[in-house]
Amino acid sequence: MKKLIFPLLALMLILAACGNNSSDDASKKDKKEKTYTQDSGKKVKIPKDPKRIVVLGATYAGGLKELDANIVGVANIVDDSKVLKDKFKDVDKVDAENVESVAKLKPDLIITYNTDKNLKKLNKVAPTIAFDYMKHDYKEQHKELGKIVGKEDKAEDWIKDWEEKTKDDGNEIKDAIGEDTTVSIIKDFDKKIYALGKTYGHGSEILYDSFGLKMPEKVEKATKKNDLADISEEQIPEMSGDYVVTPVAKGADLSFENKDIWKNTEAVKNGKTFKVDEGIYWLNDPYSLDYERKDLKEKLLNH
């Protein structure tokens, strides 16, 4: 019997040690991880201090960069923007639909859109956060990115600085063009024409939220539900404000640019329409927004 006691005691000590090691490992892991609740309501364990982030949702790339996040890869579409192309010149570019190219970068966190068809595969590569783009305005979006990388204070600082800066801009612009002057954003895309609402990007955040400018009542009503309205060429005059902003791809023309219905709108006749660079204006990160802020301010004050 005594011969059995010592081996049993030794086995118990080994098992206890293994149990303690497992507990220690779990405790260490908990200290390095945190739980983030996604827009879908699903929770995901992510690193508290991610070291290798791959950003497939280009909308979030500039915000993470402004927060000094550790980005090792970004969707190659950022190169369409001269603003972000420069900011990410030293970061690997990946095809957002190529999971293998993402995996090669050995990410510890992936950030993408909830519409990404490869979500299941990406989750096998690394913890993946899938944002619902339409759920957050640009300020909320920046706060969420701050939460993810542990830079909430830095995110709040940017928002505070942005609000102060753009309030001054808005006052200067309204003093120059008038409090009741209206501005529309009309976008020509895939053989359709759209009037954009207050939070649909393409400069809308700046014109309406930051500068505090007005949009025509008909545009406001038409875009109230979906934040954009599919309009016909015949509706262009009634959807046009005193000023009209038209986002276009580099080197592209508007489908209606040479038509009388466009040429005869008051904004065109008064020389108060201007094209803006679609490659930059579809983004609403801090760097892109600041470019758009300066660009729109200059155009509004000089047209």
- pLDDT averaged over the chain? 92
Cβ atoms of 279 and 201 within 8 Å: the answer is: no
pLDDT at 182: 98
The region, left, alpha or beta by phi > 0 then psi within -120 to 50, assigned to residue 196 is beta
pLDDT tens per residue, range 167-223:
999 999 999 999 999 999 999 988 899 999 998 999 999 999 999 999 999 999 999
**Edge-to-edge, what's the strand order for the sheet holding 183-189?**
228-231, 192-196, 183-189, 243-248, 273-277
Q: What is the pLDDT of residue 34?
A: 97
Cα 189 from Cα 243, distance rounded (Å):
20
pLDDT > 70 in the chain, percent: 90
Of the candidates 103, 94, 155, 152, the one whose C-alpha atom is nearest the C-alpha of residue 126 is 103
Place of tokens 């509706």: 235
Two tokens, residue 33: 């991880």
Beta strand extents in the chain (DSSP E only):
33-37, 43-47, 53-55, 71-75, 92-94, 109-113, 128-131, 183-189, 192-196, 228-231, 243-248, 273-277
CB distance 95 to 101 below 8 Å: yes
Looking at residue 17, what is its pLDDT? 61
- Structure letter (DSSP) for residue 265: S
| pLDDT band for position 127 (cuts 50, 70, 90) | very high
Instruction: Tell me the pLDDT tens digit for each residue of 90-108.
Output: 999 999 999 999 999 999 9
- The reported pLDDT for the residue numbered 9 is 60
Spatial separation of the C-alpha atoms in residues 222 and 229, rounded to whole Å:
6
pTM, full prediction: 0.88
Work out the pLDDT band at 250, boundaries 50, 70, 90: confident
Q: Which of 39, 27, 34 is nearest to 109 (CA)?
A: 34
Q: Angle between the 152-177 and 138-149 helix axes, to the nearest 10 degrees?
A: 160
Residue 243 · residue 183 · CB < 8 Å: yes
Q: Tens of pLDDT along 66-93?
A: 999 999 999 999 999 999 999 999 999 9
**Which token pair is 23?**
């507990």
Amino acid of residue 152: E
- Top pLDDT among 18 and 286 is at 286
Dig out the tokens for 151 from the structure. Answer: 């830079």
pLDDT above 70 (res 128): yes
- Rounded to whole angstroms, the Cα distance separating 64 from 259 reads 43
State residue 58's pLDDT score. Answer: 96
Closest C-alpha to 283, from 185, 206, 230: 206
Q: Which two tokens stand for residue 200?
A: 């649909």
Question: What is the rounded distance in angstroms from the CA atom of residue 137 to the CA atom of residue 9?
Answer: 62
CATH of 36-150, one of 2.70.150.10, 3.50.50.60, 3.40.50.300, 3.40.50.1980: 3.40.50.1980
The pLDDT of residue 70 is 98
Region 146-162: mean pLDDT is: 98
Confidence of residue 134 (pLDDT cuts 50, 70, 90): confident
Under CATH, what is the fold of the domain 164-302?
Rossmann fold (3.40.50)
Instruction: Give the range among 2-11, 146-155, 166-175, 276-285 with minimum mean pLDDT.
Output: 2-11
pLDDT band with cut points at 50, 70 and 90 for residue 5: low
Q: Could you tell me where in the chain the CATH 3.40.50.1980 domains are found?
A: 36-150, 164-302
Which pLDDT value is given to residue 190?
A: 84
